Amino acid sequence: MKYRYEEFTWPEIRAAVAGNRVAVLPVGTVEQHGPHLPLVTDVLTATEMSRLAVEQMPEEAVLLPSVYYSFNEHHMDFPGTIAVEGETIVRYVTDIGVSLARHGFRKVLLVNGHGSNVPFLDIAARNITNRTEAVCAMVPWWNLIPRELLASLRESEFPGGMAHGCELETSVLLHLRPDLVQMDLAEKDISFKRPSEFFFWDLQVGSPVFFQEWFSRYSRTGTVGDPTLATAEKGRLFVEAVVERMKALIREFRAKEIAPRVDHH
Ligand SMILES: [Zn+2]
């Protein structure tokens, strides 16, 4: 059964809408990920985990072509990064979701692979919900890792061991695309000033403060974390757990009733 949106014909899209399938849109970014990981890392993680989930439930979801470019101006001191204005990414993703809603899709799920996409995709998801008959949700893939699994597999120090090109992302890449990982170049880099109660960065538990400055001010290598602790086996366990929870999320979202609005004026 087909699940890749771009391979459908228009009558097949009409049938997919009639089947109440969830439209899943991976969104990544093209940016430096240290000396050992490819620029495509955040696209690859979001896309592959989405694909693995949707291909196991094709009667319930469709997989859209991924959005590659997004907001990452703060990485521009490192060669390779392609930076898109925040307003552009909000409008671009909103337009994709509005198009899907105009064709009749009622559930749109954004699967995010890039930390700095969060505020922009949150706005885009709200725009899609506010402007159409559909509802849109957004999930960063790392939020789907069960907390116990993360705590049991993690070896890098806290805070800062898991942030960018780190133990987590490198492990996932070692599982998904080992040919793109240069472990001989992986280097621990947690060079931001510590200890700090408010100015740190870690995917496991975030700082209470929203703060992002030029990446080159606090990272020598383009990495924040300890990729030397990454293994393909950890990556396999992370990916399998995320895919299972993503399937559960898609099922619940698909079944979720869209209640009628009430105008209380
Ligand atoms: Zn990343």
Average pLDDT (12-33) is: 98
* pLDDT tens string 130-175: 999 999 999 999 999 999 999 999 999 988 889 999 999 999 999 9
Regarding pTM above 0.95, the answer is: yes
- CA of 169 from ligand 1 middle (Å) equals 7
- CA of 255 from ligand 1 middle (Å) equals 31
- CA of 90 from ligand 1 middle (Å) equals 19
The H or E element spanning position 136 is: strand 135-140
- CA of 96 from ligand 1 middle (Å) equals 23
- CA of 247 from ligand 1 middle (Å) equals 22
- CA of 172 from ligand 1 middle (Å) equals 11
- CA of 157 from ligand 1 middle (Å) equals 18
* pLDDT tens string 201-244: 888 888 899 999 999 999 999 999 999 999 999 999 999 999 99
- For position 50, what pLDDT does the model report? 98
Does residue 194 surpass a pLDDT of 70?
Answer: no
The H or E element spanning position 174 is: helix 167-176
Does residue 192 surpass a pLDDT of 80?
Answer: no
Does residue 193 surpass a pLDDT of 80?
Answer: no
- For position 197, what pLDDT does the model report? 83
- CA of 251 from ligand 1 middle (Å) equals 27
Nearest alpha-carbon partner for 115 in 173, 163, 186: 163
- CA of 136 from ligand 1 middle (Å) equals 23
The C-alpha atoms of residue 264 and residue 261 are separated, in whole angstroms, by: 10
CA 20 to chain CA centroid, nearest Å? 23
- For position 263, what pLDDT does the model report? 97
Contact assessment for residue 70 and residue 210, using Cβ atoms and an 8 Å cutoff: no
* pLDDT tens string 70-92: 999 999 999 999 999 999 999 99
Q: In what order do the strands lie in the sheet with 61-63?
A: 61-63, 22-27, 107-112, 135-140
Q: How confident is the model at residue 51 (pLDDT cuts 50, 70, 90)?
A: very high
- CA of 249 from ligand 1 middle (Å) equals 22
Token pair recorded at residue 182: 């240069």
Mean pLDDT of the chain: 96
